Amino acid sequence: MAVSPGVVPPARASQWHAGHRLTLLTGASQWFPLLLQAMAQAQRRIWLETYIFDFAGSALEVAQALAEAARRGVQVRVMVDGVGTPVIPPPWLATWRAAGVRVAVYAPLGRLGLSLPSQWRRLHRKLCVVDDTGYCGGINVVDDWLDPTLGALPRPRLDFAVQVQGPLVEDMRHAMQQLWLAHTVPSVARRDHLERMRDALNQGLSRAPWPAAQATSRARLVLRDNLLHRRDIERAYRGAIGRARHEIWLAVAYFVPDIRLRRALRWAVQRGVKVRVLIQGEYENFMQYHAGWFTTAWCVRQGIEVYRYQPSAFHAKAAVVDGRWATIGSSNLDPLSLLLAREANVLIDDPSFAGALLQRLQHVTTHQAQPLAPLLAQRGPWQRARDVVAYVAMRTALFLTGNRY
């Protein structure tokens, strides 16, 4: 089923909820085993949204588990993006449909492809709900050792997700349900019909909190859409940066922050806050690669420490502020995520979880990353000129689509 990107009602704003069990997951190698176990035990629903579903390697186990769950009578929904997953292999599509898996493709590309600015608005969020457990992060349904573009990787891809058990799962379920109903109910334009369907499907959902002694984390789901929540994720980042008093760690694969974010980071440094940014070592896209050099060079001049992850592909979208506030999700800090794509991040207020993520980022930065400052000194005039051209071209393209960055 094809899905248009422009007819979805605005998502409701999520609030902070207490009483969660949160588990940090590093890469598909940690996520897939938990996901497969949950799918094998699922009794009611498995809902999955992903930008990329790559039918190769360990991702095939997920595809098979979805079919097996649907055959048992579990409600299984899969929504993929039309750019990230342009084609579902016909044998798998037939297998899913025969098993009862419902599939939707968000904004499939037409003949003109991405030449139409309206097609730049993609479904980039990675959400999954299996009964009363939710998952959110940057991890696509892709084998850690494989890249759909680059092929085999020298080492596993570095990425993060969070497993959620507690009240926040209801918000995740609501967000996924709203998007799904908006694109699969024929009378989607009638809001009253959408509300009736939502209420009917919500009946009987468990809202029981986890025991306080085992689940003390506060968490909030923040979505980005092209209606009422265009800058919610960016505001969450800027709010945390503005409150920082000691240290900020950002781990973002695509780091081309806008003027507001750069200003917030500069003010944090001026307050004496230690700011460190971990980015990927190589970019696949010319504009993102060179525009990234332009903005990271600015960061280094402000006193921000920037490091490049070297061993393999780096796809993380995470942050820790003052060892307490943390976020993990699908949103990069670049214009595609902050202005155009549908994204989902979980905000976390929990020193234990933030400490675990911080420890992981510190280890990666110390042992697997390279400081950017010496590399900037080696870039010649021609390379710096291309950086400026790419950054200006990116801002110009966004201006032509009605977005300022």
For tokens 């510190």, the residue is 362
User: Can 350 be counted among the known catalytic residues?
Assistant: no
Among the listed residues 131, 143, 171, 387, the single catalytic one is 131
- Alpha-carbon distance of 31 to 36, in angstroms, equals 9
Among the listed residues 20, 124, 183, 290, the single catalytic one is 124
- Alpha-carbon distance of 172 to 166, in angstroms, equals 11
Dmax (CA) for the chain in angstroms is: 64
Six token digits for residue 96: 């899913």
The two counts, helices (H) then strands (E), for the chain are 12, 18
User: Can 131 be counted among the known catalytic residues?
Assistant: yes
Q: Which residues pair with 248 in a beta bridge?
A: 275, 321
User: Can 124 be counted among the known catalytic residues?
Assistant: yes
- Residue 381: half-sphere exposure toward Cβ, Cα within 13 Å: 0
Among the listed residues 17, 20, 126, 290, the single catalytic one is 126
User: Can 274 be counted among the known catalytic residues?
Assistant: no
Among the listed residues 144, 322, 334, 350, the single catalytic one is 322
For tokens 């001026």, the residue is 270
Among the listed residues 17, 183, 229, 317, the single catalytic one is 317
- Packing angle, helices 59-71 and 28-41, rounded to 10: 10
User: Can 322 be counted among the known catalytic residues?
Assistant: yes
Tell me how crowded residue 301 is: count the other CB atoms within 10 A of its CB. Answer: 11
* Phi (first) and psi of residue 382, to 5 degrees: -65, -40
- Alpha-carbon distance of 59 to 111, in angstroms, equals 29
Tell me how crowded residue 311 is: count the other CB atoms within 10 A of its CB. Answer: 16
- Alpha-carbon distance of 61 to 399, in angstroms, equals 43
Among the listed residues 159, 315, 334, 387, the single catalytic one is 315
Q: Which residues pair with 124 in a beta bridge?
A: none
- Alpha-carbon distance of 170 to 204, in angstroms, equals 12
User: Can 126 be counted among the known catalytic residues?
Assistant: yes
| Enzyme catalytic residues | 124, 126, 131, 315, 317, 322
